[in-house]
Amino acid sequence: MTQDQYKLWTGVAVDFDDETWSSIVALASMRLASFLCLDELPTDDEGVLEDGLQALLANFICAVLRYQGNPESEITSKHIRNFTINFSSNSAANAFAQVAQNYSDLISKYSDCGTTVDVEHSTCMDCDSTHYYGGCYGCL
């Protein structure tokens, strides 16, 4: 991914030297692939990512760059009678959370993690009905 492609997908211009940009993209690609339960991001014969994956990668890089170091925080105040408390909270816990919140459709398209959940079952001793794990609460 070039810095121009990054700007296309995020609307944010960056100005890194080629070596630094290559390192950022390589690390982000590896982490995004892991997030999607892939060994690596799939490319075509020329090594180019599909547009959807480019958008996902670019916005993941954008979130990483935005929230690296000390992320922007929201300051919140609570006032009760004559007592005031101020605290800050991070509006994006991390880059994965930011991307997952905004690009869940692309994540579900490219993810190989699977979405099925196996639930244990138990059978009531006094009837033929099956209930979710946790015990029988009477026969239905």
Considering the chain, what is the average pLDDT of its residues? 75
Q: Which residue has the higher pLDDT, 124 or 16?
A: 16
Task: Tell which phi-psi region holds residue 114, choosing left (phi > 0), alpha (psi between -120 and 50) or beta.
Answer: left
DSSP 8-state class, residue 94: -
Cα(52)–Cα(106) distance, integer angstroms = 7
Q: Once rounded to an integer, what is the mean pLDDT over residues 28-42?
A: 90
Cα(4)–Cα(61) distance, integer angstroms = 13
Using one digit for the tens of pLDDT, what is the confidence trace for 83-139? 666 554 444 356 777 788 888 888 888 888 865 444 444 444 554 444 444 444 444
- pTM, two decimals, is 0.63
Q: Exposed e or buried b for every residue in 107-135, given b needs 16+ CB within 10 A?
A: beebeeeeeeeeeeeeeeeeeeeebeeee
User: At 79, which helix (H) or strand (E)?
Assistant: strand 73-80
DSSP 8-state class, residue 50: P
Q: Once rounded to an integer, what is the mean pLDDT over residues 39-51?
A: 91
- pLDDT on residue 81: 66
Q: How confident is the model at residue 77 (pLDDT cuts 50, 70, 90)?
A: low
CB neighbour list of residue 45: distance below 8 Å, 6 or more residues apart: none
Q: How confident is the model at residue 64 (pLDDT cuts 50, 70, 90)?
A: confident
